[in-house]
Structure 1
Amino acid sequence: MNNNYDKIANHYDTLSRLVFFKSQVNAQVNQLPYIPKDSSILIAGGGTGWILEEISRIHPDRLKIVYVEISAKMLALSQKRDYKNNQVEFLNMGIEDFNTDVLFDVVLTPFLFDNFAEERAAKVFQQLNGCLKRDGLWFIVDFSLNKVNGNWWKWLLLKSMYCFFKLLGIVEANQLVNMNPYFLHTGYQIVEQRFYYRSFIKAVIYRK
């Protein structure tokens, strides 16, 4: 089980929209105006790549993007996207296997950490933290549960999602890991925080 979505790559976007409508999309798209011009971007777990087209609507050129995706089928779909004149390097690997000496201006982790058990999530956080420049931006979108917004239907839906993905042998996680303490303890500051789908989806922009 390696958090690989090959089995449902061709249907993933349709399934997510059936359940969450455009909430997952909006949560990511609304962050994109914060991307600086001429920046270098690391996208970890970008899925089918529709985000590349949305980024290119704002910045049609002069971006350098490294796109890391463990699913070969997801990556193949991503490579067919229209990312205008931006430079995109596609890498078929798990983000935990990604190594580079390059420091990025922006890191995107859309619905990445909800796949990991806490030990791996902590390691991936430290790894990506090392890839981000000082004053760089980290865009994170994930599911959110807590005492304030943890309504029963959210717990039930999340449990059903994990059971579904477990049956397919896709994800290792059994529960959400709250990543916010990792950011705050490392000295990140929250630039913007928004909630979607009745606060079940949280989108945060952190500055290092």
Structure 2
Amino acid sequence: MNNNYDKIANHYDTLSRLVFFKSQVNAQVNQLQYIPKNSAVLIVGGGTGWILEEIAKMYPDGLKIVYVEISAKMLAISQKRDCKNNQVEFVSLGIEDFRTHILFDVILTPFLFDNFAEKRAAKVFEQLNGYLKRDGLWFIVDFSLDKGDGKWWKWLLLNSMYSFFKLLGIVEANQLINMHPYFLNFDYQIVEQRFYYRDFIKAVIYKKNKMTFI
């Protein structure tokens, strides 16, 4: 399993909105105001690319965006998005195979780490940390089981999702990895944290406090 969503690329957004309404969208859009003008932005696992149009509504020019997506079908949909005058480089690779000398001001990883087993999640985290500038911002949105009531239905829904994606041979993960300790270990601080969908979706903006290397 390589965490590739080609099989459901044309239906992914519809399926996510049927279950979560606009919670997944709002969790990501509400973070965009923190993107500095004229910055370099890395988006990993952006899916169908609707986030590019949301970024363009707020910043119609001046951004240099690298968009890494393993699903060729998702990437093809993303390339049709209206990015206004922003410069966007589309990369059809799994993030583990992506290499760059660019240091980014902002990294976005929406619902990325919930695909990975823990060993791969740690490896990807360290790789991306090396691509982020000192004082850079990391936007992470993912599912969460650590806040609020109703943990039983969150666990049930999460496991149903994993079972569905396993049936399709899409994801490798069996359980959700808590990424917060990784950020703490690399001296990140929380700029903003919000919860959505009765606290099942967590959106955090981290700031990198010092340069750390892999």
Is TM more than 0.5 here?
A: yes
Alpha-carbon distance in 1 for matches of 2:204, 2:166: 27
Alpha-carbon deviation of 1:98?
0.7
**1:151: Cα distance to partner?**
1.4
How far apart, CA to CA, are the structure 2 residues paired with 1:90 and 1:78?
9
1:44 matched to which residue of 2?
44
Deviates more, 1:172-181 or 1:147-156: 147-156
Cross-structure match for 2:103: 103
1:175/1:149 Cα in 2 relative to 1: closer, same or farther (>3 Å)? farther
Q: Deviations over 1:61-104 (max 9, x none)?
A: 01000000000000000000000000000000001111111100
Query: In structure 2, what residue type is equivalent to 1:94?
Result: G
Aligned twin of 1:131: 131
SS of 2:16's partner is: helix
> What are the within-5 Å matches in structure 2 for residues 1-208 of structure 1?
1-146=1-146, 148-149=148-149, 151-208=151-208
Q: How many residues end up aligned between the 2 structures?
A: 208
Cα distance, 1:146 vs structure 2: 2.2
CA distance in 2 between counterparts of 1:47 and 1:162 reads 17
- Structure 1 stretches of 5 or more lacking a match? none
CA distance in 2, matches of 1:146, 1:168: 28
> 1:103-146: CA deviations, max 9, x gaps?
00000000000000000000000000000000000000000012
The whole-number CA distance in structure 2 between the counterparts of 1:74 and 1:126 is: 25
Q: Could you say what secondary structure the match of 1:198 adopts?
A: coil
| 2:109 alignment partner, SS class | strand
Q: Which amino acid aligns with 1:158?
A: L
SS at match of 1:182: helix
- Moved segments of 4+, more than 6 Å: none
Checking the alignment, whether the CA contact within 8 Å between 1:149 and 1:200 is kept in structure 2 is no
d(CA) in 2 for partners of 1:76, 1:149: 39
C-alpha separation in 2, matches of 1:103 and 1:2: 26
Report the alpha carbon displacement of residue 150 of structure 1 after superposing the two structures with TM. Answer: 5.7
Unpaired segments ≥5 residues, structure 2: 209-214
Give secondary structure in 2 for the equivalent of 1:73. helix
